[in-house]
Structure 1
Amino acid sequence: MAFFDHLMVILILVIISGFFSTSEIALAAARKVKLQILEESGDPRATKVLALQQEPGHFFTVVQIALNAIAILGGILGEQSLTPYFAQLFHSLFGSASWIDTLSFLSSFIFVTSIFILLADLMPKKLAMVAPERVAMFVVTPMLVCVKLFKPLVWLFNGLSNLILTSLNLPTERDDQITSDEIHAVVNAGAEAGILQTREHDMIGNVFELESRTVPSAMSQRDSIVFLTLQDNEASIRHKIAEHPHTKFLVCDGQIDKVVGYVESKDILKRILTNQAFSKVQELSLRSALVVPDSLTLSEMLEQFKATREDFAVILNEYALVVGIITLNDVLSTLMDGMVHPYLEDQIVRRDDNSWLIDGATAIEDVCRALDIDAMPESGNYETVAGFMMTMLRKIPKRTDFVMVGDYKFEVVDIDQFRIDQLLVVKLAKSD
Structure 2
Amino acid sequence: MFDYKKVVRIFQTTFDVKIALPKHTPFFMNILEALLLLCLLIVISAFVSCSELALASARKIKLQVMAKDGGDTRALDVLNMQQQPGSFITVVQIGLNAVAILAGIVGEAAVRPYFGGLLENAGSWGSTAASLLTFALVTGSFILIADLMPKRMAMTHPEAVAVRIVRPMMFLIFILKPVVWIFDGMANAIFKLFKISTVRQEQLTSEDIYAVVDAGAQAGVLKQQEHYLIENIFDMQARTVTSTMSTREYIAYFDKNDGSDTVLAIMSEKPHNKFLVCDGDLERVIGYIESHTLLTLFLKEKDVRLTDKRVLRKALFIPDTLSLYDVLETFKTSGEDFAVVVNEYALVVGVVTLKDVMSIVMGELVNTEEEPQIIRRTEDTWLVDGATPLADVMRALDIEEFPNSENYETIAGFMMYSLRKIPKRTDFLVYAGYKFEIIDTENLKIDQLLVSKQGEDVVSR
Q: TM-score, normalised by structure 1?
A: 0.94
In structure 2, C-alpha distance between the alignment counterparts of 1:370 and 1:341, rounded to whole Å: 17
Identity value in percent:
49
Q: CA deviation at 1:151?
A: 0.6
* Residue number in structure 1 paired with 2:384: 358
**In the alignment, structure 1 residue 51 sits paired with structure 2 residue 77:** no
1:60 aligns with 2:89: yes
Distance 1:234 1:60 in 2: 82
The CA deviation at 1:276 is 5.0
Equivalent residues of 1:203, 1:338 under 8 A apart:
no
1:327 corresponds to: 353
Distance 1:345 1:89 in 2: 85
Deviations 1:46-81, CA, capped at 9 Å, x for gaps: 222222223211111111111111111111111221
* 1:223-372 aligned within 5 A: 223-275=249-301, 277-282=303-308, 284-337=310-363, 345-372=371-398
More deviation in 166-175 or 226-235? 226-235
Match in the other structure for 2:192: 166
SS of residue matched to 2:377: strand
CA separation in 1, counterparts of 2:244 and 2:88?
52
User: Would you say the 8 A contact 2:277–2:306 is kept in 1?
Assistant: no
Residue number in structure 2 paired with 1:427: 453
Greater shift, 276-285 or 111-120, is seen at 276-285
Task: Tell me the SS of whatever aligns to 1:64.
Answer: helix
CA shift digits 1:130-185 (9 cap, x unpaired): 11111111111111111110110111111111110111111111011111111111
- Shift of residue 421, structure 1, vs aligned partner: 1.5
Post-superposition CA distance 1:241-277 (Å, at most 9, x none): 1111111111211111212111111211211233453
Q: Rg: which structure is higher?
A: 2
The answer to whether the Cα contact below 8 Å between 1:399 and 1:413 also exists between their aligned partners in 2 is yes
Letter in 2 for 1:179: T
- 72-81 or 102-111, which deviates more: 102-111
Residue 85 (structure 1) aligned to one of 107, 110, 114: 114
Q: Match for 1:225: what amino acid?
A: I
Partner of residue 123 from structure 2, selected from 82, 96, 99: 96
Please state if 1:211 is matched with 2:237.
yes
Q: Spell out, residue by residue over 1:2-51, the C-alpha distance to the aligned partner (whole angstroms, 9 max, x if none).
A: 22221111011000111111111111111122112221232222222222
Give ranges in structure 2 of 5+ residues lacking alignment.
1-28
- Structure 2 matches for 1:342-421, cutoff 5 A? 345-421=371-447
Q: 1:21 corresponds to which letter in structure 2?
A: S
Structure 2: how far apart are the matches of 1:345 and 1:175? 46
Q: Of the candidates 92, 96, 100, which is equivalent to residue 71 of structure 1?
A: 100
Unaligned runs of 5+ in 1: none
How far has the Cα of 1:394 moved from its partner?
0.4
Q: 2:222 aligns with which of 191, 196, 212?
A: 196
- Would you say how many aligned residue pairs link Structure 1 and Structure 2? 427
Instruction: Provide the C-alpha distance between the structure 2 equivalents of 1:294 and 1:90, rounded to a whole number of angstroms.
Output: 88
Counterpart in the other structure of 1:24: 52
TM-score in terms of structure 2 length = 0.88
Quote the Cα distance in structure 1 between the aligned partners of 2:86 and 2:366. 50
1:37 and 2:65 correspond: yes
Partner of 1:7: 35
User: Kindly tell me: are residues 339 and 271 of structure 1, through their superposed partners in 2, closer, same or farther at Cα, counting changes over 3 Å?
Assistant: closer
Q: Deviations over 1:399-429 (max 9, x none)?
A: 1110101221111111213111211111136
One-letter amino acid of the structure 1 residue matched with residue 291 of structure 2: S
Task: Call closer, same or farther: CA 1:235–1:339 in 2, change over 3 Å.
Answer: closer
